[in-house]
Chains A and B, each alone.
Chain A
Amino acid sequence: MARFFAKHLAFLLLTLLVVSFLVFTLNEFSPGAVARKMLGAYATQEQVDLLTKQMGLDRPLLVRYVDYLRAAASGDLGYSLRFKLPVKDVIVAHLANTAVLAAIAFACIVPLSMVLGVAAGMREGSRLDRAILILSTVVASIPEFALGVFLVSIFVVWLHWLPGTATLRAGGGWSVASQLVLPVAVIVLFDAGYVVSMIRASMVEVMQRPYIRTAVLKGLSFRRVIVRHAVRNAMLTPITVIMLQINYLVAGVVVVETVFAYPGFGRMMLEAALFKDIALIEAGALVAVFLAVTTNILGDLAYIVLDPRIRV
């Protein structure tokens, strides 16, 4: 067990280093650009050079990178040009918003896709299976923004049941809770479509295994065969996929956040990229990668816990 953690921790650190270095390089390769960005297009070259020197941006890349790491280790991630606040505060605020969305969505996706995936896979080829398969395929094929457009046209434009944006400000007559409904719905539909097909595929494969035949021929009821024998085996591979969805829910929902003007982490990154807010990009990338590798580790851990062939 200790070896498992040591190996994965080492990998986490390695990944963080590599990615942060790459992003750093990408952003700060030309030293003049940063200063130019800060001063604007109309500054003279001398002013740019002066500022570059003052900020220490003309030093070699590696030196700057080490400095950055040192600062980051002590909690100083820089200053955001776009939001005019310390990067740390910006990230924490946006991350908190995203966390709310992600938590609700995750709580809906996992049980929903498990139920549908198992129901579809346990009787392959049945009408229920075909219906779930086609439905999940279609829903997973619609890009999130298109899903957003479709849902908005129905529930906002036509029925006026829900608000069209989710800025999390309680003004305008819509409660915060009602603002969250559509973004969560879009995320759940899109992601569940994918997870359902994974669980279904795993379930179909498990149902063909000889030990299911053994269970049935022992005289067990179908329900018992499914619940006691099939499901745990079927969840072995999807569990890692489900853990990876957390990663998507935090960093990958930028589209949904844009559609609904939700002040989340993804949108923050988009604005940072468009605005070339270097400090924010670097810090945000680190957070995203940290999350990605952590969910990877969680997925592996879950697999180990579930499968005795690895544990014992």
Chain B
Amino acid sequence: MSTPVAADVLSASPPATARLRPVARWRRRLEAFGASRPAAVGLAIVLVWIVLAVLAPAIAPYAPNASDLTALAHPTPSRAHWLGTDHLGRDLLSRILWGARPVLVIAPLAVLGAAALGSLLGLTAGYYGRWIGAVITRACDIVLSFPVIILYMIILAHFGSSAWNIIGVLTLTKAPIIARIVRGMTLDLREREYVAAAKMRGESALYIMLVEILPNARGPLIVDMCLRTGYNVIIIGVLGFLGIGLPPPDPDWGGMVKDTYGMMMVWPHMALFPCAAISSLVVGFNLLAVGLRELGLRD
């Protein structure tokens, strides 16, 4: 890392990017991605999965719930079934492709919900301080102190698990983490002089929070949202594995592992492929987060 002296010396005059047109600026940003290998690899993995999920209905060789009884005797990978079939004769490749769809819808939606709710809570807690801040922080601590798996088990076992319930539960449990991050940044940013300048113009608190403070919390927030998406994918898989995920027969990666885990001694591929699928997607999100953090998310 360069010493502060270097930054001082190198930035005494404004860089040339200020004068580039918008198109050229975006191209520079994409090139910047290339500068960080984790970011590039992570982005590539995520994009590949998105493409596969979107095209699943078109490219999956079989219907995801269709049983091929002829394959039951030899469910291992073959020419007809590239990844083999599961214990009910359903093509694994198709199930994996189709299984990507709910994951790639639920995880990001939950993160967006958590980000929205968490940002509002964090901004309010950080800006007002004193007892509003203390109350919100304590409430967040209470929610966070609860081991999430147990929370899911209780709520989902009680209310049943549908896609919206899962999104709701994920939002509620992830919002406090984001709230804590945003609160920390707000505490720091509200001392900035441009916030004082805004107050001197008579701006309302809502304006200051949303227009002056929030845009500057962008960087760490985006990195954290990437990480959250990865964790959400893990949790969706775990829920499926524990039997409280999306109801069958929709293919759910975790559920696929749960059903076939017992047969690992004989047919390990049935559990291995869904595990590899879910792992690769999470690796993609986490590498992307690492890379984004490295790049420092400059504008």
Contact = CB atoms under 8 A, between A and B. Distances in A.
B is bound to A: yes
Interface of A: 11, 15, 18-19, 23, 26-27, 124-125, 133-134, 137-138, 140-146, 149-150, 152-153, 156-157, 164, 208, 247-248, 251-252, 254-255, 258-259, 266, 269-270, 273-274, 276, 281, 284-285, 288-289, 292-293, 296
Interface string B17-37: 000000000000000000000
B177 interface: no
B237 A145 contact: yes
Given A153-B272, A164-B265, A292-B147, A141 B286 contact: yes
Nearest to A137: B286
> Which 5 pairs show the lowest CB-CB distances between chains A and B?
A146-B275, A251-B147, A292-B145, A273-B153, A141-B282
A296 to B, nearest CB: 6
A81 to B, nearest CB: 14
B248 interface: no
Given A146-B279, A273-B153, 19 more contacts: A133-B38, A137-B287, A138-B287, A141-B234, A141-B282, A143-B237, A145-B254, A145-B261, A146-B275, A146-B276, A149-B257, A149-B275, A153-B264, A153-B272, A156-B264, A247-B147, A274-B243, A285-B150, A288-B146
B44 to A, nearest CB: 15
B123 interface: no
B147 A143 contact: no
B290 A137 contact: yes
Interface in B242-267: 242-244, 254, 257, 261, 264-265
B241 interface: yes
A145 B138 contact: no
10 contacts: A15-B141, A138-B283, A141-B230, A150-B275, A164-B265, A255-B238, A258-B242, A273-B157, A274-B243, A285-B150
Interface residues of B, number: 42
B142 A149 contact: no
Contacts of A138: 283, 286-287
B287 A251 contact: no
A19 B271 CA distance: 37
A269 B254 contact: no
Contact of B261 (A149, A252, A274): A149
Nearest to A253: B149
B57 interface: no
Contact of A26 (B142, B158, B243, B287): B158
A52 to B, nearest CB: 19
A284 B149 CA distance: 12
Nearest to A144: B238
Contacts of A292: 145-147
B1 interface: yes
B148 interface: yes
Nearest to A276: B157
B154 interface: yes
Nearest to A138: B283
A292 B286 CA distance: 26
Contacts of B1: 124-125, 208
Mostly, the A contact residues are: helix
B278 interface: yes
A151 to B, nearest CB: 11
Contacts of A157: 264-265, 268
B257 A266 contact: no
B149 to A, nearest CB: 5
A208 B4 CA distance: 10
Given A153-B264, A208-B1, A143 B150 contact: no
Contacts of B287: 134, 137-138
A156 B149 contact: no
Contact of A251 (B150, B276, B286): B150
B149 A254 contact: yes
A142 B229 CA distance: 14
Contacts of B271: 149
Given A143-B237, A289-B145, A152 B264 contact: yes
A143 B282 contact: yes
B271 to A, nearest CB: 5
B265 A18 contact: no
A141 B280 CA distance: 8
A127 to B, nearest CB: 13
Contacts of B286: 137-138, 140-141
A140 B286 CA distance: 9
Contacts of A164: 264-265
Contacts of B244: 273-274
Contacts of A149: 257, 261, 264, 268, 271-272, 275
A15 B147 contact: no
Contacts of B150: 251, 254, 266, 269, 273, 284-285, 288
A143 B157 contact: no
A149 B238 CA distance: 13
Contacts of A296: 141, 145
A194 B47 CA distance: 24
Nearest to A29: B158
